[in-house]
Amino acid sequence: MFNTIRLSHLLLGSAASLACVATPAAAQSAQSAPRQFTFDVPAQGLGDALLAFSRRTGLQLASSPALLKGARSQRLRGRMTAEQALARLTAGSDLDGRIVGGTVTVVRRMSYATAGANIPAVALGGAEAQIATAPVSLADQSADGSTDIVVTGYRESVAKAQQLKKAATGSQDVILAQDIAAFPDQNLAEALQRIPGVAITRDSGEGRQISLRGLGADFTRTQLNGMEVLTNTSSGLDSRSSVSRSRSFDYSIFASELFNKVVVEKSYAAEQDEGGIGGTVGLHTAKPFDFKGLTVVASAKGQSNQYTKTVTPRLVGLISDRWGDFGFLASVAYSTADTVEFGYRNWNWSQLNFGAANVGPSVSAADRAVLVGATGANRAWNSRAQTYATFFNKRERLGLTTALQYHPDDRTDLTLDVLYGKLTNDRRSGVIGAAGTNGVAANNVTGTQVLTGVTFDEYNDIVGASFDHVDMRTESKVTQDQTTF
């Protein structure tokens, strides 16, 4: 029995991480009996038979179509393990199949005679060196008890996602994280943005809601482990809080590490009672039977930048094990983030009429004519209350999942899932703007402020100006919000 060590991705940059998933040999020896599947695959081309095998077992198929061309499979019927089924499918052909990790590889049988057919004979003492002709299958080359080390990363997840997409009946996209913490994203919204047709909105630099196929977030339905769900969080960018009062699902509450599969269905399916006009997003947490035995995962990352005073951590842990037909899994993800945003806004645009004393002598006569005494549509447009703001955000996210699974065979799967998510966001904002009695916010400028320079565009809109004696107003606001799912 092979002992497999999985090494997940290593990120280098402003944030560094190292995550390892180890399956100890002791746990492997105590592992439950291999899982069995029910097959009923008729005799047909080997390529079609292997595709049916892949759909039934969920294993990724890696082979060349040219290699499978012309090969036939025998009928496969009954209950057996994936290894037994693969051996029966390839029996009687010159091909060998082997399962390594979650991937099925099919290669042509090779013998020493075949391998050395193109190697010239070597003269040793006047006699030709003989090449052994005993056939040795590739599938037998690891029968000596050697240990396989399989290094997997995000590329393997993409390949398996392509296999699931190909096997789907309707139009759907899939993203997978083979191991927990393999999603290199802050939250689920950012993980979803790598799917074609998905656009996301951001708040404080992090993904928030998604738009599917050009439709708004209200038109996308979200399911969590098959159950219809809805969650919203508050937004410091929306003073009326209308964002959190809609049907839009807010993905920022969940850490991406808590999930190992996200499915986006862009077409209707018979098993769905009804679907969103844009599509349906299915979120799936990890299950004990996603892993082969005792699995322990730990991931730690830290991030710092010129605007933060401390290192912001991102910690992930998972433990999963199986005992016969039962399995238990628990995972936790905790992270904090400090961000600083700088921005500009105004209160709107309006047509202004300046008093004669409010236009300085440095302004040309032509520009003065546009600003002083103009009427109707001839008045110049100007942005009101130019405001500069800085937002300081401290976001804290905690997520917990637990799964108790009973999975005796491929036809029976009973799971109890518990998911807890908590998002806390403390936001402080500081604002300074040109407003007040002598500001530039009213329709008529009649205070003590003096325009010393102005730039118009072709439509007489003021696109640049300088003033003296303008009132500046300062604002500060503290917002504390917490969302629990």
CA–CA dist 24, 296 (Å, integer): 9
Q: Is position 83 within any domain?
A: yes
CA–CA distance from 247 to each of 103, 250, 251 (Å)?
A: 40, 9, 12
Query: Are 252 and 355 contained in the same domain?
Result: no
Q: How many CB atoms lie within 10 A of CB 31?
A: 16
Residues 37-68: tens digit of each pLDDT: 888 888 888 888 888 888 788 787 777 777 88
What's the length of the chain?
485
Token duo for residue 113: 């005679």
Residue 485 lies in a domain: yes
Q: Which of 86, 114, 142 is the last residue of a domain?
A: 114
Residue 133, C-beta contacts closer than 8 angstroms, at least 6 positions apart: 111, 112, 113
**Of the residues 285, 318, 347, which one is the last residue of a structural domain?**
285
- Candidates 123, 157, 356; CA nearest to 259 is 157
What SS3 state is found at 119?
Answer: coil
Q: How far is CA 244 from CA 206, 230, 234, in A?
A: 16, 11, 6
**Same-domain pairing of 281 and 379:** no
Residues 348 and 469 in one domain: yes
| Judgement on whether residues 201 and 335 belong to the same structural domain of the protein | no
Between the CA of residue 227 and those of 281, 282, 283, what are the distances in Å?
Answer: 11, 9, 9
E strands, 286-346, in order: 295-303, 312-323, 326-345
Q: In which domain, by residue range, is 259 found? A: 153-285
Give the distance, in angstroms, between the CA of residue 182 and the centroid of all CA atoms in the same chain: 9
**247 and 205 share one domain:** yes
Q: Looking at residue 236, which CATH number applies to its domain?
A: 2.170.130.10
Helix H or strand E segment including 83: helix 82-90
Is there a single domain that holds both residue 50 and residue 163? Answer: no
Is 123 a member of any domain?
Answer: no
Find the DSSP H helices in 91-153.
112-115
User: Are 335 and 447 found together in one domain?
Assistant: yes
Determine, yes or no, domain membership for 330. yes
Is residue 19 in some structural domain?
Answer: no
Q: Three-class SS of residue 245?
A: helix
240, 190: one domain:
yes
427-478 pLDDT tens trace: 888 989 888 788 877 678 888 889 999 999 988 889 999 999 988 888 898 8
Nearest to 341 by CA among 388, 406, 285: 388
CATH number at residue 62: 3.55.50.30
Task: Kindly state whether residues 363 and 452 are assigned to the same domain.
Answer: yes
* Whole-Å CA distances, 10 to 184, 275, 299: 10, 38, 10
Axis-axis angle for helices 82-90, 46-57 (nearest 10) = 180
Compute φ and ψ for 443, nearest 5 degrees: -75, -30
- Domain membership flag for residue 349: yes
Strand blocks (E) in 194-294:
198-203, 206-212, 220-224, 227-228, 259-265, 279-285
Query: Which residue is it, tokens 């439509």?
Result: 459
Per-residue pLDDT of the chain (485 residues; tens, 9 = 90+): 333 333 333 332 333 333 343 433 333 333 456 778 888 888 888 888 888 888 788 787 777 777 888 888 888 888 888 888 888 888 878 888 888 767 788 888 764 344 444 434 333 333 333 333 333 333 444 444 555 555 555 555 556 666 666 666 556 666 666 555 556 667 777 777 777 778 887 777 777 777 777 777 777 788 888 888 887 777 655 555 555 666 678 888 888 888 888 888 776 666 666 666 767 888 889 899 888 889 998 989 888 878 777 888 989 999 999 998 999 999 999 999 888 888 888 888 888 888 889 899 999 998 888 888 777 777 888 888 888 988 888 889 999 999 999 998 878 899 999 999 999 988 888 989 888 788 877 678 888 889 999 999 988 889 999 999 988 888 898 888 888 99
Domain match, 318 and 270 both: no
Q: How far apart are CA 4 and CA 1, in angstroms?
A: 9
Tokens of 450: 């003096």
Structure tokens at 112: 């020493």
Q: Are 336 and 313 in contact (CB under 8 A)?
A: yes
d(CA 73, CA 69): 12
Q: How many domains does the chain have?
A: 3
- In angstroms, the CA 98 to CA 148 distance is 13
Which conformational region is residue 87 in: left (phi greater than 0), alpha (psi within -120 to 50 degrees), or beta? Answer: alpha
Residues 429 and 325 in one domain: yes
Q: What is the DSSP track for 249-260?
A: --GGGSBGGGEE
Question: Quick check: is 456 in a domain?
Answer: yes
Q: What CA–CA distance (Å, rounded) separates 463 from 413? A: 65
Same domain for 392 and 271, yes or no, is no
Alpha carbons 128 and 338: distance in angstroms, whole number: 74
Domain closes at, from 114, 132, 167: 114
Cα–Cα dist 302/334, whole Å: 12
User: How far, in Å, CA of 140 to CA of 132, rounded?
Assistant: 16
Kindly state whether residue 144 falls inside one of the protein's structural domains: no
